[in-house]
Amino acid sequence: MTHNIIVERDVMITMRDGVKLAADIYRPDDGGSYPTLVNQHPYDNDMFLVVHELLFSPLIAAQKGYAVVTTEARGRSGSEGEWQPYGDEGRDTYDTVEWAASQSWSDGNIGLYGACALGLASIQGAVENPPHLKAAFSYMTATNFHSGWTYSAGGAFELGFQLSWVWTILARDTLSRLNLEPGALAEAEQKLVEASSDLIKSASYLPLIDFPAYQNGAAPYWREWLSHPAYDDFWKKVDNVSHADKIEVPVMHLSSWYDTCLKGHMDFNAALMERGDKRVRDQHRMIIGPTDHSAYYNSRPSYAGERDFGPEALTGPDILSGMLFDWFGHWLKGEDKTFMTDNQVRYYQMGENVWKEAKTWPPAHTVRPYYLHSAGQANSRMGDGELRTQVQQAQPSDSFVYDPMNPVPTTGGRSMIDVPTGVLNQAQLEERLDILVYTSSCLAEPLALSGPVSVTLYASSDAPDTDFTAKLVDVEPDGYCANIAEGIIRARYRNDREKEEFLEPGKVTEFTIDLWDIAHTFRPNHKLRLEISSSNFPRFDRNLNSTVSPALGRAEDAQKAVQQIFHS
């Protein structure tokens, strides 16, 4: 049955402290009461409608018999109050859910949903556990605002993403609320335009914390985020992973192997399975596809970068909205749930290009170690670095010089920046002498990897702080070098994300680099390759190789570092 609908714009909803949030409401126009979907976001509702038409249309939802409430976050666009990123969304979402449940057009069965920044509150609201909430649906969004959103799991700042997100959307709305004189406002807006015209130039500015376009009140949160590089109380209070045990409703969450948010979803899933409410633990579902973060709204919904993962990988509005309606159709309307199997995880096995299912993540597996080998000349793919399954004794170390003023450029991968992401050929990049390259022999049989990947390095640096990066690559028979997974560790946080511990220059130290999870099959005649270096810019900020915080460092603080990798 298709319903005629009514749209109410700029309805003001009062929060518990008296602040009013602006909402748009989409609902059937027949006087009935319907299951209700709630979303809160830091944008304006006009933009919300445009973006969400690419993922999930509230207009279509209303035609299908749902009421939909989309609210602008506190201190954003038409809503009152002051925006404290990630600080009020949970409580305000709770209040919005309960307000919606009390309306005559709602039957009291409420679902939370959203994607990326348009879905930050879907998990935050579920953690608050409003009484009328029945289920949540979250797509490629943050679950831990520190690790996997603002900073990497290894402690480096997600520079490219945060820089472009702030200047593209966040700062413009903040500026509009400052009551600046027209001339001052025009000047501030022009700085944002100039900054966004050249990502590399803007990302290269030092010190990062004083980025010119974000001064004069344009983005106070920029300085705040950079002032808290460690996982401290500032971040702990908004870490939804650590509060997963408070969630009492089924959650479906989706990510992809080339999504910046993947780490958060994996950690969140583990928390739900290990510490989640036992009454709903077997009702959660996680889906991991092969694409990049933007696949759901771009014109190539089966791609990640240069790689087409085939018709089985298709995503986009039709696929995702179908999942959403199936999910909420069951939990809010009591419809058939044949789409749900006993397996709680559905994932795309790259290389084979097929969907697989597992009861838990990771699926049953064995650890497959590889070891670094060389005669001390592993620099570039033309060097002598090898990956082997056996340890070999008495080998010289490899070394390279990391110059923060000439960093390794981001080339594809898990990112949300204005450069190509996903799968890109790494062959040209691997010609750099500041990248150590270790390659296996050709595989005789398929090697299927499904689960977490990490690299343990024994390394030294002549600097008191530095970064080490690792990238797993599939070398194909024609020479194409496809990036599969990547990671970074900031030396000062190698032992504890909550406090700094600087290096003793020249001392051999153990570093563990988390490359996150993957599901990829290396096919016969392919080779495994591991790249080791010290930068991935502008995805991550550069470590200046000093004890000064990278956010505060100036050009004069930067120094070259001699890095040694030991493998015997």
Residue 320's pLDDT is: 80
> What angle do helix axes 89-101 and 120-128 make, rounded to 10 degrees?
70
Nearest by Cα to 292 from 303, 308, 278: 303
The β-bridge relationship of strands 106-115 and 133-139 is parallel
List, for residues 12-27, the tens digit of each pLDDT value: 999 999 999 999 999 9
Residues 155-171 have a mean pLDDT of 90
pLDDT (0 to 100) of residue 316: 62
H/E stretch holding 320: helix 317-333
Instruction: Count CB-CB contacts under 10 A for residue 562.
Output: 16
Question: Which of the following CATH numbers is that of domain 371-566: 2.60.120.260, 2.60.40.10, 3.30.470.20, 2.60.120.380?
Answer: 2.60.120.260
- With CA atoms as reference, report the closest residue to 413 among 532, 536, 266, 297: 536
- In this prediction, what percent of the chain has a pLDDT beyond 70? 96
Give every CB contact of residue 322 below 8 A, 6+ residues apart in sequence: none
Q: What is the pLDDT of residue 415?
A: 83
Q: Which residue, chain included where needed, has tokens 């649906």?
A: 137
Residue 317: per-residue pLDDT: 62
* DSSP result, 489-539: EEGGGSS-TTS-----TT--EEEEEEEEEEEEEEPTT-EEEEEEES--BTT
Distance CA 531, CA 434 (A): 10
Place of tokens 């419809």: 335
At 50 the pLDDT is: 65
Domain range list for the chain? 5-148+235-358, 159-228, 371-566
**Residue 316, phi-psi category: left (phi > 0), alpha (psi -120 to 50), beta (remainder):** left
Nearest to 87 by CA among 222, 217, 237: 237
pLDDT at res. 226: 97
Q: How confident is the model at residue 560 (pLDDT cuts 50, 70, 90)?
A: very high
568 pLDDT exceeds 70? no
Residue 331 pLDDT more than 90? yes
Identity at 30, one-letter amino acid code: D
CATH number of 5-148+235-358, picked from 3.40.630.40, 3.40.250.10, 3.40.50.1820, 3.30.70.920: 3.40.50.1820
**For residue 474, is pLDDT > 80?**
yes
Distance set, CA 79 to CA 253, 483, 550 (Å)? 28, 43, 35
Quick one: pLDDT at residue 541? Answer: 98
Q: What is the mean pLDDT of residues 460-480?
A: 99
pLDDT tens sequence across 372-422: 999 999 999 999 999 999 998 879 999 999 999 999 999 999 987 777 889
pTM, rounded to two decimals:
0.95
pLDDT score recorded for residue 157: 98
| pLDDT at residue 46, rounded to an integer | 82
Mean pLDDT of 156-171: 90
**Tally: H helices and E strands in the chain:** 12, 22
Q: Residue 386: what pLDDT?
A: 98
Structure confidence by residue, pLDDT tens digits, 272-286: 999 999 999 999 999
User: In the structure, what pLDDT confidence band is assigned to residue 298 with cuts at 50, 70 and 90?
Assistant: low
Q: Yes or no: say if 106 and 130 are a contact pair by the CB < 8 Å rule.
A: no
- pLDDT (tens digit per residue) in 78-128: 999 999 888 899 999 999 999 999 999 999 999 999 888 877 889 999 999
Mean pLDDT of 312-335: 85
The rounded distance, in Å, linking the Cα atoms of 251 and 276 is 11
pLDDT tens across 207-248, in order?
A: 999 999 988 889 999 999 999 999 999 999 999 999 999 999
* Per-residue pLDDT at 18: 98
Instruction: Give yes or no for residue 296 having a pLDDT over 70.
Output: no
In sequence order, which residues have a C-beta less than 8 Å from that of residue 327 and are 6 or more positions away?
A: 111, 135, 137, 252, 285
Edge-to-edge strand order for the sheet containing 345-349?
A: 5-14, 20-28, 67-72, 34-41, 106-115, 133-139, 251-258, 285-292, 345-349, 354-358
User: Worst-scoring range by mean pLDDT, 188-202, 303-317, 490-504, 515-529?
Assistant: 303-317
% of the chain with per-residue pLDDT over 90: 78
Q: Is the pLDDT of residue 174 over 70?
A: yes
Q: What rounded mean pLDDT belongs to the chain?
A: 93
Quote the pLDDT of residue 23. Answer: 97
